[in-house]
Amino acid sequence: MVIAPPFLYLDQVKKSIKADYKLSAQNCWIGKGGAFTGEIAAEMLADMDIPWVILGHSERRALCGETNQIVGTKVAYALSQGIKVIACIGETLPQRESGQMFSILEGQLQQIANNVDDWTKVVIAYEPVWAIGTGVVATPEQAEEVHAWVRQWVGKTVSPAVADKIRILYGGSVNDGNCAELAELEDVDGFLVGGASLKGESFVKICNAQKAAAKA
């Protein structure tokens, strides 16, 4: 399990979690630290021994104007500083309905792939933008379709060996009512959970869904 609290609480959470849980920042600066007031550099995360960072989240793409190229550059720099990356991809509802979904996802993936040398330090998180925080969740068929496509794309573009081992997470209104069905999908390797993580009992069920699916 990787926990990604807001920057302000990273140190507090770090002191309170068990050793087998890992910590992640929700974002980091695009390059070397410097006079960038208010930004958090990858060097700062490394200095605090924060092993993971989430990059390319749809909210940062939409609200902060982060392009595919910016996300790719961030991925490269974070990795260069020893920070492992949860790289997010996803399409909006108009992009899906217009038939652009796979070309949008390919553009996002390509910029990430262009900047990765060691794929053991990268996790891909698919988050359909239309399902984030809306209560609407992709059907199992929709989720598996995209996850399988991502794995095939990695196999063709990077290597079959990487495609076989890479973890692809689903993020988009995951809750205790749908996690079991989603966890059973062949190409879903875990979840990127937002609001549901704040509900204790529900979150425990989500966390255990993958283990339960493996035993089934």
Q: What is the mean pLDDT of the chain?
A: 94
Catalogue the active-site residues.
57, 127
Distance CA 83, CA 211 (A): 27
pLDDT of residue 136: 74
pLDDT of residue 213: 74
CB burial of 182-214 (b: ≥16 within 10 Å; e: otherwise) equals: bbbbebbbbbbbbebbeeeebbebbeebbeebe
Distances (CA, A) of 100 to 6, 94, 166: 33, 8, 25
CB burial of 72-108 (b: ≥16 within 10 Å; e: otherwise) equals: bbbbbbbbebebbbbbbbbbbeebbeeeebbebbbeb
pLDDT of residue 132: 73
Domain 2-215 CATH class label = alpha beta
pLDDT of residue 127: 93
Q: Tell me how far apart the 2 most distant CA atoms of the chain are, in Å.
A: 53
Q: Give me the residues of the chain with pLDDT under 70, please.
A: 133, 215-216
pLDDT of residue 216: 60
pTM of the model: 0.94
* 168-211 pLDDT per residue, tens: 999 988 999 999 999 999 999 999 999 889 999 999 999 999 87
Domain segments of the chain as ranges: 2-215
